[in-house]
Amino acid sequence: MGQPASCQPIRTPPSTEQNKPRGGFHSASTLMQSLQTEPRSSMKTMRSFFLCALAFLSAAQAGLLDERRRRELAFSPHSSSSSSSFSSSSQRSGEICLNGGTSVPTLISGAHLFCLCADGFEGTHCERVKASHCYEGVGLYYKGTASKTVSGQTCLQWDEETRRQYLHLDINAGKHNYCRNLHYRRRPWCYVWKNLQLVWEYCDMPLCNFKPLPPVASPVPTQPEPVAEMMTCGQRTRRKQLKIVGGTVATVESHPWIAAIFWRTKSREKVFRCGGSLISACWVLTAAHCFPDGNNTKAERFTVILGKNALNESNPTVEQKFRVEKIFIHEGFDNNDGNFNNDIALVKLKTKLGKCAKESDKVRTVCLPPPQQRLQPGFTCDIAGYGKESHALWYRSQYLKEAQVNLLADNVCRQKNYYDNMITDNMFCAARPDWSQDACEGDSGGPLVCEVGSRLFLFGVISWGDGCAKELRPGVYTRVTNYNKWIEEKTHLGSITAGAMFPQK
């Protein structure tokens, strides 16, 4: 940038090389000292000085930015020996930000200021992979180089169609065999050959920063007096009417505790995430895997709607919509073995005028059974949700659906031809004897309720399964009665978590 025509050079004492500003320009303090030696004769002189000073400073900044740009353009991503440094296929010659990163320029000259990195990358030039040895949440943003499966096999390279659809911004445009989670599965995975068939397997890698909790014995709680909202818990206002897979369309009055949890994307689109169960006016119980960002989950991006019959229809006269104040994910949630251990979470609703859910024929709480309470194998229970009607379908059911399943004995579900050792004491299995009805993708977090006496009690949270309504692959549910103490610690609702409404022998 040149000087204004009215500017005259300011003479200053000679300076040493040590205190000379970069770019060959004098500092602002030098200009001020020089100004003090000039006569201040008029406002015109002052105006000319400030114009000159602005010209000097702008030119100096441009010189510094040009020098910085020359240094950064000289950066070569291939000079690093780190195994975590990569160059994106979308990188063009001369680009500074790698792996899909975006260069943010200065407002004055447009020179590069810093890189805004894509998910999974970090560093000055987005050249490093974040936590490449482990994955966070369910690994949706994992960009590391792990390529071994739990069976010890080496992953196959991703095919061209998969690269085009999902991996075009990945390392080398997806031309690699690194583990990724492309279809919202439980953890990163890849394809391998097994018995001459192409199958997918989970990768052998740990969850970041996971520290298992030591088992804590639950004390036997006292039986407090029931509170008012408990008096109607678990009571339907309408019996089942008329697919959850193989099931039937239901009205929300037959499952008035069902909650629909929605997530707002960065583009502000509202997306259905999971089901849940209203256990108190301000609390919804759901599954931990519904929040893949783990402890980084932003509660303000979630909303909960109660009394909803259909995902694509709204009825403000009966539905109750709430923003989320806080989300508690169980500290022991662990998907290291691909089985969602401790898959339970609590969602606290934000109050409106000091109140949350208002009881109606379409909105009502479900009862919690007492701690460690179990039912006999074969007991018939109900599941409900807005999930797929078939594992092969790409879309979810738009309407609330229900089905009946029977509880399976733990030793049956742990047989080798079922789920073997993937079933922990924090889970149980349920299915139909003919495998015709089951929960499916999109039902996660929803309720499994069992009628005891004249009330419905929440015994399970829909968690995971291999396929939907598949023979020898029953649905797996979080065992709610293992978490009464944890629920009480988060909600301070001792009267509800004690299971006081459960019939006494």
103 is catalytic: no
- For 45, other C-beta atoms within 10 Å of its C-beta total 12
Helix axes 43-73, 28-37, angle to 10 degrees: 160
Question: How far is residue 167's CA from residue 437's CA, in Å, rounded to a whole number?
Answer: 35
* Amino acid in the structure at residue 5: A
In the numeric block, which tokens belong to residue 315?
A: 């009825």
In the numeric block, which tokens belong to residue 314?
A: 């709204």
Residue with tokens 């609702």: 493
In this structure, what are the phi and psi dihedrals at residue 161, rounded to the nearest 5 degrees? -65, -40
Query: Sign of the C-alpha dihedral, residues 139, 144, 150, 151?
Result: positive
Question: How far is residue 88's CA from residue 173's CA, in Å, rounded to a whole number?
Answer: 6
Q: Which residues pair with 200 in a beta bridge?
A: 191
Per annotation, catalytic residue among 88, 125, 254, 343: 343
Determine the Cα angle at 16 with ends 13 and 20, to 5°.
90
Question: How far is residue 476's CA from residue 420's CA, in Å, rounded to a whole number?
Answer: 13
Per annotation, catalytic residue among 254, 444, 463, 495: 444
Question: How far is residue 423's CA from residue 435's CA, in Å, rounded to a whole number?
Answer: 19
Burial class of residue 142 (count of CB atoms within 10 Å of its CB; 0-12, 13-18, 19+): buried
Yes or no: say if 327 and 347 are a contact pair by the CB < 8 Å rule: yes
Question: How far is residue 467's CA from residue 441's CA, in Å, rounded to a whole number?
Answer: 8
Question: How far is residue 210's CA from residue 331's CA, in Å, rounded to a whole number?
Answer: 9
Per annotation, catalytic residue among 112, 125, 289, 330: 289
444 is catalytic: yes
Q: Which residues of 108-124 are buried (b: 16+ CB within 10 A; e: fewer)?
A: ebebbeebebbebbbbe
Yes or no: say if 457 and 370 are a contact pair by the CB < 8 Å rule: no
Tell me, letter by letter, the H, E, C secondary structure of 115-130.
EECCCCEECCCCCEEC
Alpha helices in 341-425 (DSSP H): 410-413
- Catalytic machinery residues: 289, 343, 444
